[in-house]
């Protein structure tokens, strides 16, 4: 390194080099960061392959795929928002119990008692809205660039399913504060299910299957004839466990498929 | 499938060919991702410092707000309830939208037109998709921002006197439409609906026969031939369903027609 420099080093430079050598020139550091700082092309290739976090990305990318005016970065933003939501969501779970008489009071505690509770809940809420928007914009970008075409048809289908699961994630979370806003929004939303043909008690031809208010599809979804404690627990479990699990599996497939097909680009 | 995939002369994406400008992911891609993460975190943090997440009074079954609104991303469907019964607005249409989105790659006939914002070879697809997105956005806009008590239109900025009645109470009309809605007779309605879909199905073919000389029509003719009957049927039935949704909205708003078909079992 030092033979490149003809000038004398300042004390600050010397201290910096000593400190960085102390930090990096030891077996513990080397066991974690195997390639060292990627200063050469070879190391740049190696770091992408040998790091668990980096190996989701290719070692080299086509220049067009880097342009923000092409990709809008919307897929990445959607995934990053999902990670932020998982993080803030887990922290919120420490302070929240999905019980009819407690849920709303836990919201009040988050606002007035829990340290950083306000910023925690605000971030979770706004990130959720942003993720719905980002996933829609991502779909539009993929459509307008024709990136759903062969060989990526199946990944588009998985993407549509991920859009659906994002909406369901947001919708199930809407009920959890147990306030008037969420309660009635989810009442309106789930009432739609009772209009399903055959399986909803208000839908066409429901008599054919003997479907009534207490055995129709809406009853199965909310665990009662109206939104109550059962619906709250169900929304909570779907929101925190069920849907994130399914969405994660679909995301794993989605990203794996992108790695196999490469970033979309001109043929 | 194989043929479609190989429709390009070499069958490879340009970026996979030797000599295509490629750069190492470190630092070029990693840098973009890192900045994006930083930007989103700061933006989200900033917004969360400035704006509280909404929290209303505790949920109460006996206290129905007027109006009770769905979350914004579902409010387009709620807005459609003005024009359709719930089994169409809340069940059939959203399902059909999802099915239609899933089918998009499988009815595509320009496999080489990808990787750029160039739409000259796919004008119809882009126009149809854009109309759908705009339609969806319009419904969200109207439902979220213009609908007030009793799901009536309340224009922004104007200060309406609701005399404190923000909850539903019987006998206190807030703002009544006062519209007398009529329905078509069953015969007329059936004829209209069947006529709409069958004429809609053959209309593009009729146009190509009637005006064979026009440039636009020749383009349409080529498009139809490339599409083939099965893909054509899938595409056109979705085009007609979306058109029918718009027509029903026009019939309801312009002619006060509530139902086109009324049967004891279902109403359209």
Under 8 Å CB-to-CB from B101, ≥6 apart: which residues? Answer: A139, A160, A163
Instruction: Report the alpha-carbon distance of residue B21 to residue B102 in Å, rounded.
Output: 33
Residue B179's pLDDT band (cuts 50, 70, 90): low
Alpha-carbon distances, residue A84 vs B30, B41, B197 (angstroms) = 18, 8, 47
Give chain A positions within 8 Å (CB) of B122. 146
Alpha-carbon distances, residue B89 vs A39, A62, A235, B86, B184 (angstroms) = 58, 44, 23, 5, 20
Kindly report the CATH class assigned to A72-260. mainly alpha
- Compare CB distances from B71 to A54, A68, A170 and report the shortest one's residue: A170
Give chain B positions within 8 Å (CB) of A132. 73
Q: Which residues pair with A60 in a beta bridge?
A: B24
Residue B214's pLDDT band (cuts 50, 70, 90): confident
Instruction: Report the alpha-carbon distance of residue B91 to residue B95 in Å, rounded.
Output: 6
- Compare CB distances from A104 to B20, B59, B90 and report the shortest one's residue: B59
Cα nearest neighbour of B76 on chain A: A189
| B63 vs A106, higher pLDDT | A106
**Does the beta carbon of B146 lie under 8 angstroms from any beta carbon of chain A?**
no
Query: Taking CB atoms and an 8 Å limit, are A193 and B36 in contact across chains?
Result: no
Alpha-carbon distances, residue A256 vs A190, A252, A259, A260, B28 (angstroms) = 34, 6, 5, 6, 21
Q: What is the pLDDT of residue B7?
A: 40
What is the percent of chain A where pLDDT is above 90?
Answer: 75
In the block, tokens 């010397």 appear at A14
CA B19 to chain CA mean position, Å: 42
**Does the beta carbon of A221 lie under 8 angstroms from any beta carbon of chain B?**
no
Q: How far is A246 from chain B (nearest CA, A)?
A: 18
Alpha-carbon distances, residue A55 vs A92, A118, B26 (angstroms) = 31, 36, 11
Instruction: Report the alpha-carbon distance of residue B257 to residue B267 in Å, rounded.
Output: 12
Q: What is the pLDDT of residue A77?
A: 97
User: Would you list the domain boundaries of chain A?
Assistant: 2-50, 72-260
| pTM of the predicted protein model | 0.90
Give chain B positions within 8 Å (CB) of A203. 87, 91
What is the percent of chain B where pLDDT is above 90?
Answer: 53
**Segment among A1-10, A132-141, B125-134, B204-213 with least mean pLDDT:** A1-10
Residues A84 and B14: beta-carbon distance below 8 Å: no
Q: What share of chain A is helix, strand, coil (3-state, %, to 5)?
A: 70, 0, 30
Residue B168's pLDDT band (cuts 50, 70, 90): very low
Bridge-based pairing of strands B22-24 and A60-62 is antiparallel
CA B91 to chain CA mean position, Å: 14
Residue A226's pLDDT band (cuts 50, 70, 90): very high
| Mean pLDDT value across chain B | 86
Instruction: Report the alpha-carbon distance of residue A120 to residue A238 in Å, rounded.
Output: 21
User: Would you list the domain boundaries of chain B?
Assistant: 21-55, 70-175, 179-268
| Mean pLDDT value across chain A | 92
> What totals of helices (H) and strands (E) does chain B contain, helices first?
8, 1
Q: What is the pLDDT of residue B157?
A: 78
Q: How far is B48 from chain A (nearest CA, A)?
A: 5
> Tokens at residue B243, please?
């058109």
pLDDT of A31 above 50: yes
| A145-183: pLDDT as tens digits | 999 998 899 999 999 999 999 999 999 999 999 999 999
**Does the beta carbon of A265 lie under 8 angstroms from any beta carbon of chain B?**
yes
| B8 vs B177, higher pLDDT | B177
pLDDT of B57 above 80: yes
- Compare CB distances from B15 to A48, A62, A156 and report the shortest one's residue: A62
Give chain B positions within 8 Å (CB) of A171. 71, 74
pLDDT of A63 above 80: yes
**Does the beta carbon of B29 lie under 8 angstroms from any beta carbon of chain A?**
yes
pLDDT of B2 above 60: no
Q: Which residues pair with A179 in a beta bridge?
A: B58
**Segment among A81-85, B9-13, B72-76 with least mean pLDDT:** B9-13
Q: What is the pLDDT of residue A34?
A: 84
Query: Taking CB atoms and an 8 Å limit, are A160 and B265 in contact across chains?
Result: no
Q: What is the pLDDT of residue B172?
A: 47
Q: What is the pLDDT of residue B12?
A: 54
CA B92 to chain CA mean position, Å: 13
Q: What is the pLDDT of residue B3?
A: 42
- Compare CB distances from B86 to A124, A140, A192 and report the shortest one's residue: A192
**Does the beta carbon of B53 lie under 8 angstroms from any beta carbon of chain A?**
yes
Instruction: Report the alpha-carbon distance of residue B18 to residue B30 in Å, rounded.
Output: 23
Residue B148's pLDDT band (cuts 50, 70, 90): confident
pLDDT of A51 above 60: yes
Query: Taking CB atoms and an 8 Å limit, are B58 and A178 in contact across chains?
Result: yes
Q: Report the SS3 class of residue B153.
A: strand
Instruction: Report the alpha-carbon distance of residue B71 to residue B93 in Å, rounded.
Output: 17
pLDDT of B185 above 60: yes
- Compare CB distances from B51 to A64, A76, A122 and report the shortest one's residue: A122
**Which string of b and e fits B19-39 if b means at least 16 CB within 10 Å?**
eeebebbbebbbebeeebeee
Residue B167's pLDDT band (cuts 50, 70, 90): very low
Q: What is the pLDDT of residue B169?
A: 47
Residue B10's pLDDT band (cuts 50, 70, 90): very low
Give chain B positions within 8 Å (CB) of A104. 58-59
Backbone angle region of B163, left / alpha / beta, with phi > 0 → left and psi within -120 to 50 → alpha: left
DSSP-derived secondary structure for A54-117? TTTS-SEEEGGGG-HHHHTTHHHHHHHHHHHHHHHHHHHHHH----TTTHHHHHHHHHHTSTTH
Residues B229 and B107: beta-carbon distance below 8 Å: no
- Compare CB distances from B24 to A59, A130, A178 and report the shortest one's residue: A59
| A101-112: pLDDT as tens digits | 999 999 999 999
Q: ipTM higher than 0.95?
A: no
Q: What are phi and psi of A92, to 5 degrees?
A: -65, -35
Give chain B positions within 8 Å (CB) of A76. 33, 36
Q: Which of residues 169-208 of A touch B (CB under 8 A)?
A: 170-171, 174, 177-185, 187-189, 191-197, 200, 202-205
């Amino acid at each position: 390194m030092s033979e490149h420099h003809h000038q004398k080093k300042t004390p600050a430079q010397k201290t910096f080099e000593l400190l960085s050598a102390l930090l990096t020139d030891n077996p513990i550091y080397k066991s974690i960061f195997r390639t060292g700082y990627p200063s050469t092309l070879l190391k740049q290739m190696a770091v992408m392959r040998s790091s668990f976090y980096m190996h989701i990305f290719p070692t080299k990318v086509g220049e067009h795929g880097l342009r923000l005016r092409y990709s809008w970065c919307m897929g990445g933003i959607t995934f990053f928002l999902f990670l932020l939501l998982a993080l803030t969501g887990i922290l919120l779970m420490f302070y929240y119990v999905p019980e009819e008489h407690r849920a709303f009071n836990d919201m009040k505690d988050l606002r007035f008692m829990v340290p950083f509770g306000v910023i925690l809940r605000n971030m979770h809420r706004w990130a959720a809205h942003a993720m719905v928007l980002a996933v829609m914009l991502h779909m539009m970008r993929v459509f307008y660039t024709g990136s759903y075409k062969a060989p990526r048809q199946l990944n588009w289908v998985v993407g549509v399913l991920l859009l659906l699961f994002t909406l369901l994630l947001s919708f199930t979370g809407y009920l959890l504060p147990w306030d008037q806003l969420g309660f009635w929004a989810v009442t309106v939303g789930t009432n739609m299910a009772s209009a399903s043909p055959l399986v909803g008690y208000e839908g066409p031809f429901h008599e054919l299957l003997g479907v009534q208010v207490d055995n129709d599809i809406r009853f199965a979804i909310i665990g009662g004839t109206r939104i109550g404690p059962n619906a709250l627990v169900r929304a909570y479990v779907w929101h925190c466990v069920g849907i994130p699990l399914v969405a994660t599996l679909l995301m794993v497939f989605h990203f794996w498929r992108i790695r196999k097909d490469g970033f979309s680009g001109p043929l | 499938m194989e043929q479609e995939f190989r429709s390009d002369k070499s069958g490879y994406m340009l970026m996979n060919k030797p000599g295509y400008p490629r750069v190492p992911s470190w630092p070029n891609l990693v840098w973009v991702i890192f900045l994006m993460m930083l930007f989103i975190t700061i933006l989200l943090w900033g917004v969360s410092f400035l704006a509280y997440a909404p929290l209303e009074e505790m949920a109460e079954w006996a206290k129905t707000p007027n109006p009770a609104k769905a979350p914004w991303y579902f409010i387009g469907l709620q807005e459609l309830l003005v024009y359709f019964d719930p089994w169409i607005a809340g069940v059939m249409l959203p399902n059909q939208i999802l099915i239609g989105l899933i089918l998009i790659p499988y009815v595509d006939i320009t496999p080489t037109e990808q990787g750029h914002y160039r739409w000259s070879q796919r004008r119809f697809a882009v126009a149809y998709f854009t109309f759908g997105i705009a339609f969806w956005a319009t419904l969200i806009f109207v439902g979220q921002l213009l609908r007030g008590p009793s799901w009536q239109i309340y224009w922004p900025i104007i200060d309406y006197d609701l005399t404190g009645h923000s909850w539903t109470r019987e006998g206190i009309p807030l703002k009544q439409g006062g519209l007398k809605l009529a329905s078509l007779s069953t015969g007329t309605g059936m004829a209209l609906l069947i006529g709409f879909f069958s004429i809609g199905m053959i209309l593009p073919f009729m146009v190509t026969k009637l005006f064979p000389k026009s440039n636009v029509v020749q383009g349409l003719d080529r498009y139809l031939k490339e599409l083939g009957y099965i893909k054509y049927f899938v595409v056109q039935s979705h085009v007609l369903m979306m058109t029918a949704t718009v027509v029903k909205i026009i019939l309801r708003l312009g002619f006060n027609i509530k139902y086109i078909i009324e049967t004891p079992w279902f109403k359209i």
